[in-house]
């Protein structure tokens, strides 16, 4: 039976329950929340469905809410669009705050419109005033003013874990974070993060040194770790074997895989950082979350497809574990 079929059959299953009922469903007065019966392991239980989602197995699990703060990609392959697809594929609920709107296609970015920093903060506050996310992924921030507003909001609410994907430049060469933003990201945002996930170029910018091989990745990771968070340097652009390298301040952890020969990798960095944040929100350790994110992203790349006249996109929707 499909996930949809399981969910519908579950919701339609009513069983007699003693006590007060509202519209045919049992009511727990002490919680003042509607609950519905769940049948499992031969027994009948009363389950509050507000935070539950039914998977194919029929087992109820607590819904995880992941907030992604990033830019919009009009071609749908990266940015907030890739984040939503990734979180959904992993069974989470995506909450969003958009920092900038890009005009782009498979051949590159033709324009970027930043949102006012105050309105970015207002989006985030609207979410946080209603619930507390289980994790936050931060992607494209565009300007120093947006970085500082974000730092203020995260500090005020004390949210964790935070995963930062330090987006500074697109693969086509467009700058996506100004110089002031890079400085504030290093000095003010990264100390609040649990994990940061730079690619080779971004690791070079954050560490102030060139990164082209595994040894360079290790040196950069050590340097970036001094800023606070655990560091995962993603090595998709390495020659030969693909290696994602995690440094937690005590040891290096390498996640390796054969190079996937494809140019259709648009959105891979977004998928990696967002899946990592989602796994952290589900209770995984940073090492386990990084391993899972590595595997998930490889599946998304394996299922990538071409579109338009340029590079194609990865497919996180086909990467459900």
CA distance 174 to 251: 34
Arithmetic mean of pLDDT over the chain: 85
Instruction: Tell me if 285 sits within 8 A of 248, measured CB to CB.
Output: no
Tell me which of 45, 61, 77 is where a domain ends: 61
User: Do 165 and 189 meet the contact criterion of CB atoms below 8 Å apart?
Assistant: no
Residue 318: inside a domain? no
CA distance 202 to 208: 10
In this structure, are 210 and 224 located in the same domain? yes
Q: What's the pLDDT band for 270 if we cut at 50, 70, 90?
A: very high
Residue range 221-248, pLDDT digits in tens: 999 999 999 999 999 878 778 899 999 9
Same domain, 111 and 39: no
Number of domains in the chain: 2
69: in domain: yes
| Residue range 117-150, pLDDT digits in tens | 999 999 999 999 999 999 999 999 999 999 999 9
N-to-C CA span, the chain: 18
| Residue 24, in any domain of the structure | yes
Residue 29 and residue 144 in one domain: no
Same domain for 178 and 271? yes
Residues 157 and 263 in one domain: yes
Q: Domain for residue 71, yes or no?
A: yes
How far is the CA of 177 from the CAs of 27, 112, 119, 147, 305, in angstroms?
51, 11, 18, 10, 28
Look at residue 58 and give its three-state secondary structure: coil
Instruction: Mark whether 231 and 117 lie in a shared domain.
Output: yes
The residue out of 61, 82, 97 marking a domain boundary is: 61
DSSP state, 188? I
Q: Are 247 and 225 in contact (CB under 8 A)?
A: yes
pLDDT tens digits, residue range 14-71?
344 344 443 343 433 333 333 344 333 333 333 444 455 545 455 566 899 999 999 9
State the residue range of the domain holding 34: 3-61
In a domain, 319, yes or no: no
Residues 222 and 235 in one domain: yes
57 and 70 both lie in a single domain: no
> Of the candidates 260, 266, 226, which has an alpha carbon nearest to the alpha carbon of residue 241?
260
Both structure tokens of 40: 């499992």
């Amino acid at each position: 039976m499909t996930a949809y079929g399981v969910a519908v059959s579950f919701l339609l299953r009513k069983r007699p329950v003693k006590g007060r009922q509202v519209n045919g469903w049992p009511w727990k007065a002490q919680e003042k929340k509607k609950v519905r019966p769940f049948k499992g392991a031969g027994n009948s239980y009363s389950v509050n469905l507000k935070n539950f989602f039914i998977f194919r197995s029929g087992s109820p699990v607590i819904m995880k809410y992941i907030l992604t703060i990033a830019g919009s990609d009009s071609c749908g392959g990266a940015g907030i669009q890739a984040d939503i697809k990734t979180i959904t594929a992993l069974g989470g609920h995506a909450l969003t705050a958009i920092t900038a709107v890009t005009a782009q296609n498979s051949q590159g970015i033709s324009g970027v419109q930043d949102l006012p920093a105050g309105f970015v903060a207002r989006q985030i506050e609207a979410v946080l005033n209603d619930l507390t996310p289980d994790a936050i992924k931060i992607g494209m921030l565009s300007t120093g003013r947006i970085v500082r507003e974000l730092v203020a909001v995260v500090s005020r609410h004390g949210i964790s874990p935070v995963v930062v994907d330090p987006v500074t430049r697109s693969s086509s060469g467009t700058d996506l974070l100004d110089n002031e933003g890079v400085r504030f990201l290093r000095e003010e945002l990264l100390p609040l993060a649990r994990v940061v996930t730079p690619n080779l170029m971004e690791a070079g910018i954050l560490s102030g040194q060139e990164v082209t091989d595994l040894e360079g990745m290790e040196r950069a990771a050590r340097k970036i770790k001094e800023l606070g968070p655990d560091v995962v340097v993603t090595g998709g652009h390495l020659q030969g074997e693909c290696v994602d390298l995690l440094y937690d301040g005590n040891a290096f952890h390498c996640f390796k895989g054969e190079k996937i020969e494809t140019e259709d990798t648009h959105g891979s960095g977004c998928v990696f950082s967002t899946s990592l944040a989602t796994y952290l929100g589900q209770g995984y350790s940073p090492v386990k979350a990084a391993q899972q994110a590595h595997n998930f992203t490889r599946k998304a790349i394996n299922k990538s497809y071409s579109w338009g006249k340029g590079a194609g996109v990865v497919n996180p929707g086909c990467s459900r574990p």
